């Protein structure tokens, strides 16, 4: 699972059309540079790569009146939309992804219909429970981790992680089933991107050559 692909496709989709610097600005606004590998170089590389793969359409626009190179605006294609939702669904049901994958998936979960989001999260819970059961074939929590020497601490960690993941997922399901948040086709979506000209309070200020393209 490529978190950067999910993040970039999601950001472009929110805007409709966006140039690379806007996408970078949004990802920094979300703090993605702190909890994922979404750095300027990887963002601009992902935009160009996905344009070559047909997931994004690159529109070259005229230079500004103040001069400077022409910028490229990106628009998600039908193929890109399919890939976006494939990545999103996969991230929601797969329990053993890195934390950045789960974080990105939760950030975009409202792009799905409410019923589908709940179904995917229930599938995630089922997979967690199945994994926990497989661990218990070799480890008895009641006997403590010392039963397997210090290696038992690993299985103890796995059990605790599974319990925590399952508890968090069930809580999210409960809130969504209770009517929390606005999902696809339910009304005005949550606005998670910066408006044109809006200052980003979380911008790193780091300069990158890709900012000008």
Over residues 56-99, the pLDDT tens digits come to 999 876 555 555 566 789 999 999 999 999 999 999 998 877 88
Confirm if 180 and 114 have CB atoms less than 8 A apart: no
Query: Could you tell me how far CA 68 lies from the centroid of its own chain?
Result: 33
> Higher model confidence: residue 28 or residue 200?
28
Plot region of 100 (φ>0 → left; ψ -120 to 50 → alpha; else → beta)? alpha
Residue 157: per-residue pLDDT: 86
- Give the rounded percent of residues in the chain with a pLDDT score beyond 70: 81
List the 72-76 sheet strands across, edge first: 18-19, 72-76, 56-60
Strand, helix or coil for residue 135: helix
How far is it, in rounded angstroms, from Cα 169 to Cα 121? 7
Fold topology of 1-88+100-111+187-212: Arc Repressor Mutant, subunit A (1.10.10)
Predicted confidence band of residue 209 (pLDDT cuts 50, 70, 90): low
- What is the DSSP track for 19-80? EHHHHHHHHHHTTHHHHSS--HHHHHHHHHHHHHTTSEEEEE-PPPTT--PPPEEEEE-HHH
Predicted confidence band of residue 146 (pLDDT cuts 50, 70, 90): low
Token pair for 152: 């038992």
Query: Could you tell me how far CA 63 lies from the centroid of its own chain?
Result: 32
């Amino acid at each position: 699972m490529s978190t950067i692909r999910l993040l970039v496709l999601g950001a472009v989709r929110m805007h409709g059309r966006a140039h690379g610097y806007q996408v970078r600005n949004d990802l920094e606004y979300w703090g993605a540079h702190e909890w994922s590998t979404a750095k300027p170089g990887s963002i601009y590389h992902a935009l160009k790569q996905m344009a070559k793969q047909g997931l994004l359409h690159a529109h070259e626009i005229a230079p500004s009146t103040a001069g400077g190179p022409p910028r490229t605006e990106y628009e998600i294609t039908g193929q890109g939309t399919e890939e976006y939702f494939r990545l999103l669904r996969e991230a929601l049901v797969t329990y053993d992804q890195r934390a950045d994958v789960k974080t990105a998936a939760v950030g975009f979960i409202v792009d799905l219909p409410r019923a589908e989001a709940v179904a995917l999260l229930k599938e995630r819970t089922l997979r967690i429970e199945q994994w926990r059961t497989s661990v218990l074939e070799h480890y008895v929590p009641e006997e403590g981790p010392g039963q397997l020497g210090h290696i038992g601490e690993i299985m103890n960690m796995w059990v605790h992680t599974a319990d925590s993941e399952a508890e968090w997922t069930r809580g999210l399901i409960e809130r969504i089933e209770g009517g929390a948040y606005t999902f696809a086709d339910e009304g005005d979506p949550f606005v998670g991107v910066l408006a044109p000209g809006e200052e980003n309070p979380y911008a790193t200020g780091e300069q990158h050559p890709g900012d000008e393209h």
